[in-house]
Structure 1
């Protein structure tokens, strides 16, 4: 989320069903067909081919994703509620201590949550979501209880403010400035996080007070926006507003209140969305994370109202971004902005791939997958999840990245426990807490297995538990075990990844099964399943190049779905990432990675295939080394290369 210097007074950004297929209900925020139908009041208006399971019905059992989830949970629990809500209480006049009691004041959170920052409060919305997602993912009551405490504190702030339901860490004047098209950061963006977090607290953690608070906030929003003309609204929407359309569509899905639907539709940004509806790529120079959440809202619009234009915009946007604006690891943007399509090689900088963008692209991807059940959506989801989102978190400290640099010789820069709170820290609280959500889907006949992550799925309506055991991607086989009291006839739709060019081995109870499908599809296995039935699925991985879409001589190296990075030393690495001038925090600036001149990034391959000049390291799964002319360079999965310089894209001679 970029800010511009105040000298020009410009601060706005550039820029199914769980219980039954019959109900066809939708979960709200980050929600997809099928989840938490008992919380929904509005049914789907469009055909759905794959329904989500409730996040509560999936448990990670071991491995990299579970470790990330646990580290993120510890971080969320380490932040006291008093510090989280301090800025909200200050805004409501609730933190004026008596003489001599200054030492009892909570220490404010720092970075973008500082009391002098116009975006303050956005992280608390993400924390509400993160705590709810952690509770859903683990069943650990400590997350629900902390979420309850945070909601209670916010409810007290709303009561004391007594402003028609308004709730924020900043005064309404920020919204007024936005409406007047005056200089202000992104107040509706911040409110979107609160709306989304409160919805998540209601849908995932069952907190009724959260819905009550949110409903009052919506009443305030209706009163605030009702007098505005279309011209005023469109001027207001030029500023970054996150996914306010998505948030209100999700609230409408819960309440069936037509006022909430009307609010969602007020956040239709014509200048951004009309070209996409017409099939026009209007992304060049646009602030990427200002755009992407709008399309998540468009997807929600299509699902809840049947608006075909919204479907067209969302689908065209996804295809455009993935095909023409995406790096090998699934991220996009340079200095937070899209650039000309098919110009990846010209934008390998130290400020590539804001992690929030990928967080929101995965949201959009899930919507599109439920509409069509096409393997390409699962393919992208795996690419971005394993390489970008998994790699966002430093396993040593638990802290997360804002950018993931593609510049040769750069390195990751991480947040701090309580003094950063960039947008990507907030979205990271969610991304790292909901890894179970896209592993499995279902239709009325069976289960889609989209991701190969050690986990347990309980499909209560069918009386079936599916246990997935694997060390993927360090091994190429995943094992699926059926647990059921009674024999059940059911289909399994096993994803056959497009990268698995050398074929597949499939066994059921030790017996080989012939596979006629091709990579980039689903293998359907239908039978009456009994307790203990075992499916073994093996997709051999191979080395491959992922060239930039504008220069075949600039390429990344991948092994199966895993992007590899060359480890090129730790010399002259320094500090964490401020990303903003400490004197003027509203002035954005880049980061000097001080890359040594001798960082190797050119490989002399002489036209030979990748298997001739990249060789596996014995005894070390997913480790390789280059053997071309010059010094040998060790390659590891990009998600593992932390606390050192690396190369993802190589110049090939």
Structure 2
């Protein structure tokens, strides 16, 4: 494998100009322009991301989700978002009775009495930048510019060596002293990442200046600490601070930023993973996952093989032993014993932030090896968990996606929730174009079947993907190019496509020798208007829990199905707002009626015998025999909103 170095040939430099941005990994950093990078990737790479702005999602549920999320982002006034920052800086705020109206403080986890306040503004900076890159709409850039300008003003007024936050430095001091405080570095990570995204995707130079000043403060704050003090500090959740500083180092080349990234190496969490030990039982999942995203970035920028080992082992362990059918993980935010899924079908499963971060890590690992298994997981988690996070009726999002039979989703509110999953949702729902396509020096990987248009400027070629997947099994790729071009297409042959594949190029059948779980290569000279038609018939299958084959979910192709269980006794849908008890959802009572059944008598027959398609309703199935005195209808889990559902069934 070719090593990237300063001795790259001109041809490779041209290719790198299109793609080196993909390694600013909060994995969504394919918008990183090459002229912004001061430190290149030093390890072998098999697939590169495209710039996010070079992929447009053109229709379908992903585009609809993105549009709803964009409206929410634009609806939040800058004055309200900045209020806690300005209060912390002692800046003038209108008095009662003043002709200038006092901004209404945000609620939930952004309330002035919440120690995590300020985290959402970092996510919003990212969300606005991602929306700008994904759509080209300047309104998102203007809103981001306004926030960045306001943050620069607060940083100047604070005048604390570059420190910037919605809470005082005492929170950091408490963390360093290993006394109780709610994750101040986690909150700062969101700001660092948001400012990087504003610089990367929206070209905001002021954002990088603010972030560099913040890094100078952090260097001054942390450099005097002993190794013991640092490790005690790192026991508290710090998000992806290592990732943020590695990314900043790639932008600036400043060795202080590399040193800061390495200071956030948490030995107790990472050393066992480097040794191949599953140390996840009882660990807080979203405290762990971002650390491994940072480890992946460490490997890419420094060649640290231990970091690669830890990241790869962690991903395999989580996906194989700790993951539900829809791609999510954790119960009450924590990992549990491996291979115990059936024992953890509760109302507190699958924190959405976890999947957001697992997808970041997955993108890293895919670029290293271009293995289909990473694309398979990405598709599964994206369609079933991330797409299903947002309620299409209100545009609000979920914290958990309960696996408890008969439970239902609980949604945020527009300005009174701001849980961590609201913040990560601002990003997840704004960047659906990031993992559809990848490329190497010569060809394009087609990983996801989402209607979209790719423009590969450096090659002078575009690919238009037209499909109604997953409601249809066929996707069509049309090549647009001014001149004939020799270019291989690497078409993902999903592991779930066990019924085979039909492939046509310009209407002529092509024999496929590959097997599911690989890539089909179509290597030829393409001309304008050439078309590839690819069909993967989907089939029903059981996704059994890894500890009990008689407890299983049902999937159709990559799509997890859920049984509709009615709306009886459903309570309000946004209870998690009490600052005195931010984790009150752990005890939420779904008051599941006794009439909700999650048992199916299969008589030992295959799933196709007892589950039949409903005519005229795509992706919808019905039990062939009555269950609890009536047939049960199943449809995609991502579509089941504002009602109870069953994902996992007891099979008899």
TM range (shorter): over 0.9
Structure 1 runs not aligned, ≥5 long: 1-15
Q: Which residue of structure 2 aligns with residue 642 of structure 1?
A: 641
The 8 Å contact of residues 616 and 625 in structure 1, kept in 2 or not, is answered as yes
Pairing 1:30–2:26 present: yes
1:392-434 C-alpha deviation (Å, 9 max, x unpaired):
0000000000000000000000000000000000000000000
Q: Distance in 2 between matches of 1:64 and 1:23?
A: 29
The 8 Å contact of residues 413 and 574 in structure 2, kept in 1 or not, is answered as no
Q: Which residue of structure 1 aligns with residue 15 of structure 2?
A: 20
Q: Distance in 2 between matches of 1:491 and 1:322?
A: 30
Deviation at 1:531, TM superposition (A): 0.1
Q: Which residue of structure 2 aligns with residue 395 of structure 1?
A: 392
The 8 Å contact of residues 17 and 51 in structure 1, kept in 2 or not, is answered as no
Deviation at 1:104, TM superposition (A): 1.0
Q: Which residue of structure 1 aligns with residue 5 of structure 2?
A: none
1:48-96 C-alpha deviation (Å, 9 max, x unpaired):
0000000000001100000000000000000000111100000001134
Deviation at 1:17, TM superposition (A): 9.4
Q: Which residue of structure 1 aligns with residue 154 of structure 2?
A: 157
Q: Which residue of structure 2 aligns with residue 3 of structure 1?
A: none
Matched position secondary structure for 2:306: helix
Q: Distance in 2 between matches of 1:633 and 1:585?
A: 36
Q: Distance in 1 between matches of 2:221 and 2:635?
A: 53
Q: Distance in 2 between matches of 1:457 and 1:23?
A: 13
Q: Distance in 2 between matches of 1:576 and 1:589?
A: 14
The 8 Å contact of residues 55 and 433 in structure 2, kept in 1 or not, is answered as yes
After superposition, residues 283-322 of structure 1 pair within 5 angstroms as 283-322=280-319
Q: Which residue of structure 1 aligns with residue 40 of structure 2?
A: 43
**Residue 436 of structure 1 is aligned with which of 433, 439, 449?**
433
The 8 Å contact of residues 315 and 368 in structure 1, kept in 2 or not, is answered as yes
Pairing 1:562–2:527 present: no
Q: Which residue of structure 2 aligns with residue 624 of structure 1?
A: 621
After superposition, residues 216-295 of structure 1 pair within 5 angstroms as 216-295=213-292
Q: Which residue of structure 2 aligns with residue 347 of structure 1?
A: 344
Deviation at 1:37, TM superposition (A): 1.7
Q: Which residue of structure 1 aligns with residue 199 of structure 2?
A: 202
Stretch deviating more after TM superposition (106-115 or 30-39): 30-39
Q: Which residue of structure 1 aligns with residue 650 of structure 2?
A: 651
Q: Distance in 2 between matches of 1:32 and 1:305?
A: 20
The 8 Å contact of residues 113 and 579 in structure 2, kept in 1 or not, is answered as no
Q: Which residue of structure 2 aligns with residue 9 of structure 1?
A: none
Q: Distance in 1 between matches of 2:603 and 2:337?
A: 30
Q: Which residue of structure 1 aligns with residue 326 of structure 2?
A: 329
The 8 Å contact of residues 580 and 589 in structure 1, kept in 2 or not, is answered as no
Matched position secondary structure for 1:435: coil
Pairing 1:125–2:122 present: yes
Q: Which residue of structure 2 aligns with residue 526 of structure 1?
A: 523
Stretch deviating more after TM superposition (318-327 or 25-34): 25-34
Deviation at 1:603, TM superposition (A): 0.2
Matched position secondary structure for 1:360: helix
**Residue 411 of structure 1 is aligned with which of 388, 398, 408?**
408
Change in 2 beyond 3 A, CA 1:95/1:597: farther
Pairing 1:370–2:381 present: no
Deviation at 1:550, TM superposition (A): 0.2
Structure 2 runs not aligned, ≥5 long: 1-10
The 8 Å contact of residues 576 and 583 in structure 2, kept in 1 or not, is answered as no
Q: Which residue of structure 2 aligns with residue 475 of structure 1?
A: 472
**TM-score relative to the length of structure 1:** 0.96
Change in 2 beyond 3 A, CA 1:17/1:181: farther
Matched position secondary structure for 1:436: coil
Q: Distance in 1 between matches of 2:146 and 2:270?
A: 39
Q: Distance in 2 between matches of 1:88 and 1:242?
A: 20
Q: Which residue of structure 2 aligns with residue 105 of structure 1?
A: 102
Q: Which residue of structure 1 aligns with residue 185 of structure 2?
A: 188
The 8 Å contact of residues 107 and 577 in structure 2, kept in 1 or not, is answered as no
- Count of aligned pairs between the two proteins: 638
**Residue 421 of structure 2 is aligned with which of 401, 420, 424?**
424
After superposition, residues 528-607 of structure 1 pair within 5 angstroms as 528-579=525-576, 581=578, 583-585=580-582, 589-607=586-604
Matched position secondary structure for 2:459: coil
Matched position secondary structure for 1:371: helix
**Residue 82 of structure 2 is aligned with which of 78, 82, 85?**
85
